[in-house]
Structure 1
């Protein structure tokens, strides 16, 4: 009898502990959500958006030209709705590009900047910092619009399949893949919920929320920087800016975000 009572007590205690942990996690998640909501009213990302708008309209570079004729997929100068359809195939470059790599193309062709030199510049420095501000400005113009990446061109379909394969490929010293953190529901690292990026609604708060302002380091992070840091955390070699690897992952996540509303500029931990 005592043995049965002891076992029952242990089971009850374990269940209570598990329930308590789950309730604590829910409370933490709710507190973080409220914290972000409070910050949203004075989101520092607005400063990057303003800088991006100034850069978009300013005549710059060796050619002393603005970016107001930059074609991001909706026609020269059209920014509204462009972000939620990127990455996509561009005929003039013959490749699939995301927002940031396309902006560098425009800076090169319209303004005369050295695109290769910009791509080699560390994030948050020089013209690369300007690319992040420009991306924030362009992306914000589509806030609230639904993602609908095109998949009609063969290269767009190829990049989706390549991105899907990369997402689930394990490797590096820790045998990680993107899916290790973002391949299923209800995962968390420290106090951060990890969205499931293989579907919606998870991708609606993942891919659909970058560029975003990161409170932990007081920096504006673009999607390219977010992916670079993911590669670093997986102990993979860091990819080059605008590489096919990062864009393929962007296509995969972007297609999975179909129908989700853009939350840019968001606030992240």
Structure 2
């Protein structure tokens, strides 16, 4: 009996030590991010994005200053926290990146299909991520409030919800496998619960973000496509309806969360 009691005490001690180690690791990562936040490298992308927004470019030699992101032509502040949303001119629900594609095509003369097919981080894809950094930064601290008045917006929310919880692929994974409940982590990385506040705030509301591991700024489209890669699913494609629907679902769930984008991620 004495041996059993000793074994039980040892097990409790090990469990406690493990919990403390997890807490210490999470605290360490939080402190690391806090140190980097003072002088976030994303500011370089923000500056580039602002210049791109105002510069005359493309076959039509025009700027993007007349682009309507949902708040009226040229209005940037506050637009990010209300996207994705329905746009009458395209008759589609669009997130920030797909909306920028539309504006670059109609106003500047670029071919949206060619940009969408360009690998992440190259050419106009890299420019879009800079634009996303600038536009999201203009809404930093504002609270997410995605519109759901239009039937198409409500439909995309329901589609996004189904996609989020859909299990498949060789590992039978879903988005919810990692982000459907509290207390999960991969290695030392805490995984936010994207179905409720405040987890959706530190998850969805933090993208686009500067990724320390790659030394690049990632937009939400790159983030979601990489999630599909980790699930061993085929890429859904840049600005696809599946990724936009996921953005609607997560954005609606993030209602009231303050945007921290562009943030810093590992």
Separation in structure 1 between the aligned mates of residue 90 and residue 132 of structure 2, nearest angstrom = 19
RMSD in angstroms over aligned alpha carbons? 0.6
TM-aligned CA deviation for residue 27 of structure 1: 0.8
Quick check: 1:219 aligned with 2:216? yes
- With normalisation by structure 2, the TM-score equals 0.99
- With normalisation by structure 1, the TM-score equals 0.98
Counting only pairs closer than 5 Å after superposition, residues 81-160 of structure 1 correspond to structure 2 as: 81-160=78-157
Question: Which runs of 5 or more residues in structure 2 are unaligned?
Answer: none
2:33 to 36, 41, 52: 36
Separation in structure 2 between the aligned mates of residue 18 and residue 37 of structure 1, nearest angstrom = 29
TM-aligned CA deviation for residue 60 of structure 1: 0.4
Quick check: 1:46 aligned with 2:43? yes
Q: Secondary structure at the match of 2:190?
A: strand
Separation in structure 2 between the aligned mates of residue 140 and residue 217 of structure 1, nearest angstrom = 21
Per-residue CA distance 1:203-257 (angstroms, 9 max, x = gap) = 0011100010000111111000000000000001101111000000000000000
TM-aligned CA deviation for residue 10 of structure 1: 1.2
TM-aligned CA deviation for residue 26 of structure 1: 0.6
Aligned residue pairs: how many?
266
Cross-structure match for 1:6:
3
Separation in structure 2 between the aligned mates of residue 217 and residue 110 of structure 1, nearest angstrom = 32
Per-residue CA distance 1:50-73 (angstroms, 9 max, x = gap) = 000000000001110100010000
Quick check: 1:71 aligned with 2:68? yes
Q: Which runs of 4+ in 1 moved over 6 A?
A: none
Cross-structure match for 2:235:
238
Separation in structure 1 between the aligned mates of residue 223 and residue 154 of structure 2, nearest angstrom = 23
Quick check: 1:23 aligned with 2:2? no
Question: Which runs of 5 or more residues in structure 1 are unaligned?
Answer: none
Cross-structure match for 1:268:
265
Separation in structure 1 between the aligned mates of residue 60 and residue 129 of structure 2, nearest angstrom = 21
Quick check: 1:167 aligned with 2:164? yes
Q: Secondary structure at the match of 2:147?
A: coil
Cross-structure match for 1:207:
204
